[in-house]
């Protein structure tokens, strides 16, 4: 991990060095002080229910939340030309993807606060694509099956976090400057469907050195008054699948990890608060031995917030790692191997002897998925710090945006040969059911399958037999699930999708509601850039930066190229609207680009997506109540920290304690914490790590073995190499209720003290 000490004015150094003469230097300084825009950043906790809720991403019904690895956040930036001028807001979520219903409800809340200042045209809400966050917040049936329908707690946590992150950014708006930088991230992603990529034209592939995009684009936000950096947002493509389909701890995966590392690095390297310790020459072991567990104690609802290590306030630095054209990019960079033989998987189908479940990708920390998450997160973080410290290209000039809703189930598309084709109603092929090397599917399907057997045809037809039009339209995909023609009990898949272009000077952000493959993203970027250059009267050129913001504003699965579609691997089988889906996106984005380049009015709004909130079905049962054995209080220790007799724990080892607890769904402890590591300073215990730290794990489970549903919280602290020697203890915060309808009561408890050498 980088430990470079760098002041907040580093961005000036290379620029000033390049200037010859005092006049140039003065002009640069004045520019940095005033800035071209109003800028603001915000961040808010969106962790959601840490127990008994299915995770969104792998579609594995057994993968339900059971604790927190580190918390999820919504991170936002707003840029405005003036207090009342044009502006847009970009929000990055530690979530699987954006949701149309989330977007609708966020806009309703913002309208009640700000009128028409923020609207669907100038807000982009993008997911990082972690597969380790609570599900149940999307409104279409196919995305809610494994979560047993709609989960109000998940939904409310995300909507509130987006709203509050935008409110913070809005309240913090101030004159400032924005700098952009780009660079390549090494070994943070490989193509998980290389056989499909090879089907793209040879002359097209020859123009690129890799079968994945390695470029990261970073924005650095600098306060024009204090000349201090307030945030950085970057875009880079790699899947949020470093954490496996067996993981049950809420986690932001590699991008959330990168954000945590970046924000902590900035805080550490820009803090004037020296570490002081008055433990001095006392014997740490003897001191620790005298301090026993506190036992469970009642506290209030907000107690845990006072123990958080990182406070959410106006001075926070916000570092976000956003997703791009991630469709076929895996963070499991060692490749995919067969579990039974240890040999590489079949190249074309990613299976082992016809069994897709045996073919699994390996991350760089294999077999430790948390280590893999850390390594891939660090590779992104380290590049971001390098780009941050060397960013000198300032974004200036116009800010604008274009947005339109389109019915993707029946778009007429004109191809390069002037032939006319159409997109199709949404459908999934058998390759979808096979899953990927990041998370294999089930039921005997393989990637590349274009046939389904009689049994699965019966199952399919019992749900909805596809129309002949749909069968012909989707070819060579065979329709396994005809989601675009299924409306019982409500729509199974989206039909009306948003596309959006945001312009910030020389940067163009393309907001897409899905996962574009590597080559699909390249084609879209090039088409938009060429269109802007041809129609822009010299405003745009080859130095114009184009980034794709994937999984934005709503979700509609994948977008593969026409050539990749032929093989029907997972990404192609999940390209909902047929073989010409990408061509439709390119055609419609070019229309928006022409409108932006020529300064003509945006396309008038003619469609709106449905609000299906009133139709949602929820089958997730609420917690019925908590209890403990007689004589036991909530927060009491069940298993205390174990240390070597007469000795200390060493850095790199784990301190573990288990507490009698309540269901974490009783209270999400938003902007609070379930777990704390405290260090003894004199006679005071100082919070040092919380459940937003990568090294601290909060785990929850229920024990039904005695016939009583007692629950336990286990706190595990992997003692960092950088931990200061001293006396520590583990603290747990929780909430319990005696019945389904009783009010929450809050408790805390601490372990016995232990020493760290």
DSSP 661-704: E--GGG---TTS-SEEEEEEETTEEEEEEETTSTTEEEEEEEE-
- Provide CB contacts within 8 A for 93, sequence distance 6+: 46, 72, 74, 125, 126, 127, 128, 158, 161, 162
- Provide CB contacts within 8 A for 499, sequence distance 6+: 403, 404, 406, 510, 511, 512, 513, 585, 588, 589, 592
> Does the annotation list 515 as a binding residue?
yes
| Torsion over CA: 337, 343, 347, 353 (sign) | negative
Q: Rg of the chain's alpha carbons, rounded to an integer?
A: 26
- Provide CB contacts within 8 A for 684, sequence distance 6+: none
Q: Tell me which residue has tokens 């809420």.
A: 250
DSSP 36: S
HSE, CB side, 13 Å, CA atoms: give it for residue 227.
Answer: 12
Which of the residues 244, 304, 330, 574 is marked catalytic?
330
HSE, CB side, 13 Å, CA atoms: give it for residue 204.
Answer: 15
Cα–Cα distance between 509 and 547 in angstroms, integer? 5
| Torsion over CA: 513, 514, 517, 520 (sign) | negative
> Does the annotation list 129 as a binding residue?
yes
Give φ, ψ of 179 to 5 degrees.
Answer: -115, 150
Are 637 and 749 within 8 A, CB to CB? yes
Three-state SS at 580:
coil
304 noted as active-site residue? no
> Does the annotation list 577 as a binding residue?
no
Cα–Cα distance between 401 and 464 in angstroms, integer? 40
Helix/strand/coil (H, E, C) string of 235-296? ECCCCECCCCCCCCCECCHHHHHHHHHHHHHHHHHCCCCCCCCCCCCCCHHHHHHCCCCCCC
DSSP 25-93: HHHHHHHHHH-SEEEEEEEEE-----EEEEEESS--TT-EEEEESS--EEEEEEEESSSSS-EEEEEEE
- Give the ranges where 290-438 is alpha helix by DSSP (H): 303-306, 369-390, 430-434
* Catalytic positions: 330
Q: Which residues are annotated as a binding site?
A: 129, 239, 515, 558
Q: Which residues are annotated as a binding site for Zn(2+)?
A: 129, 239, 515, 558
């Amino acid at each position: 991990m980088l430990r470079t000490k760098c002041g907040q004015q580093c961005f000036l150094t290379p620029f000033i060095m390049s200037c010859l003469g005092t006049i140039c230097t003065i002009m640069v300084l004045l520019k940095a002080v005033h800035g071209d825009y109003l800028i603001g950043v915000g961040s808010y906790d969106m962790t959601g229910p840490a127990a008994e809720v299915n995770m969104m991403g792998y579609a594995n019904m057994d993968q339900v939340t059971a604790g927190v690895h580190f918390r999820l956040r919504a991170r936002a930036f707003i840029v405005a030309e003036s207090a009342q001028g044009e502006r847009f807001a970009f929000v990055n979520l530690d979530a699987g993807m954006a949701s149309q219903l989330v977007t609708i409800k966020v806009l309703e809340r913002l309208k009640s606060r700000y009128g028409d200042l923020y609207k669907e045209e100038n807000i982009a809400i993008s997911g990082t694509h972690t597969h380790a966050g609570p599900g149940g917040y999307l409104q279409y049936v196919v995305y809610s099956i494994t979560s047993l329908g709609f989960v109000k707690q998940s939904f409310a946590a995300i909507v509130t976090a987006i709203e509050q992150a935008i409110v913070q950014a809005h309240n913090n708006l101030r004159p400032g400057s924005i700098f952009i930088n780009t660079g390549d991230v090494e070994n943070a992603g490989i193509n998980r469907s290389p056989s499909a990529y090879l089907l793209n034209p040879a002359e097209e592939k020859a123009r690129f050195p890799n079968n994945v995009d390695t470029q990261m684009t970073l924005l650095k936000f600098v306060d024009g008054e204090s000349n201090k950096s307030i945030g950085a947002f970057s875009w880079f493509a790699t899947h949020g699948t470093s954490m496996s389909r067996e993981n049950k701890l809420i986690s932001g995966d590699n991008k959330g990890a990168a954000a945590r590392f970046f924000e902590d690095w900035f805080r550490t390297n820009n803090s004037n608060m020296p570490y002081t310790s008055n433990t001095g020459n006392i014997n740490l072991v003897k001191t620790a031995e005298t301090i026993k567990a506190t036992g469970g104690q009642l506290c209030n609802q907000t107690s845990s917030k006072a123990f958080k290590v990182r406070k959410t306030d106006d001075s926070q630095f916000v570092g976000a790692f956003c997703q791009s054209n991630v469709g076929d990019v895996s963070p499991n960079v060692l490749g995919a191997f067969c579990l039974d033989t240890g040999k590489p998987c079949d190249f074309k189908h990613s299976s082992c002897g016809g069994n897709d479940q045996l073919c699994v990708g390996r991350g760089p920390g294999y077999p430790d998925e948390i280590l893999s998450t850390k390594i891939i997160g660090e590779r992104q973080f380290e590049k971001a710090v390098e780009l941050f410290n060397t960013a000198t290209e300032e974004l200036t000039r116009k800010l604008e945006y274009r947005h339109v809703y389109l019915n993707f189930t029946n778009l007429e598309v004109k191809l390069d040969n002037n032939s006319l084709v159409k997109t199709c109603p949404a459908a999934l092929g058998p390759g979808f059911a096979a899953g990927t090397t990041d998370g294999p599917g089930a039921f005997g399907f393989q990637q590349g399958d274009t046939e389904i057997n009689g049994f699965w045809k019966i199952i399919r037809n019992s749900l909805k037999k596809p129309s002949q039009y749909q069968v012909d339209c989707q070819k060579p995909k065979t329709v396994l699930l005809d989601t675009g023609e299924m409306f019982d009990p409500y729509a199974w898949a989206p039909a009306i999708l948003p596309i959006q272009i945001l312009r910030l000077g020389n940067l163009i952000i393309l907001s897409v509601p899905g996962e574009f493959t590597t080559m699909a993203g390249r084609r879209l970027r090039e088409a938009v850039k060429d269109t802007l250059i041809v129609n822009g009267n010299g405003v745009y050129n080859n130095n114009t930066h184009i980034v794709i913001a994937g999984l934005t504003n709503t979700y509609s699965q994948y977008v593969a190229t026409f050539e990749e579609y032929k093989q029907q691997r997972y990404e192609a089988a999940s390209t909902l609207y047929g073989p010409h889906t990408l061509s439709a996106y390119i055609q419609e984005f070019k229309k928006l680009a022409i409108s932006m380049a020529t300064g003509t009015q945006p396309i008038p709004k003619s469609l709106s997506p449905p609000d299906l909130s009133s139709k949602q079905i929820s089958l997730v049962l609420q917690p019925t109540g908590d209890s403990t054995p007689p004589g036991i209080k909530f927060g009491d220790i069940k298993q205390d920290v174990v240390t070597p007799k007469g000795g200390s724990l060493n850095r790199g080892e784990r301190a573990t304690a288990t507490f009698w607890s309540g269901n974490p769904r009783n209270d999400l402890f938003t902007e609070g914490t379930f777990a704390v590591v405290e260090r003894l300073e004199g006679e005071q215990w100082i919070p040092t790590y919380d459940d937003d730290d990568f090294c601290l794990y909060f785990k929850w489970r229920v024990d039904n073995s005695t016939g009583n549903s007692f629950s336990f919280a286990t706190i595990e602290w992997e003692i960092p190499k950088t931990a200061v020697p001293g006396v520590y203890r583990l603290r747990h915060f929780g909430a319990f209720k005696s019945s389904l309808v009783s009010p929450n009561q809050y408790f805390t408890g601490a372990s016995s003290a232990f020493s760290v050498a």
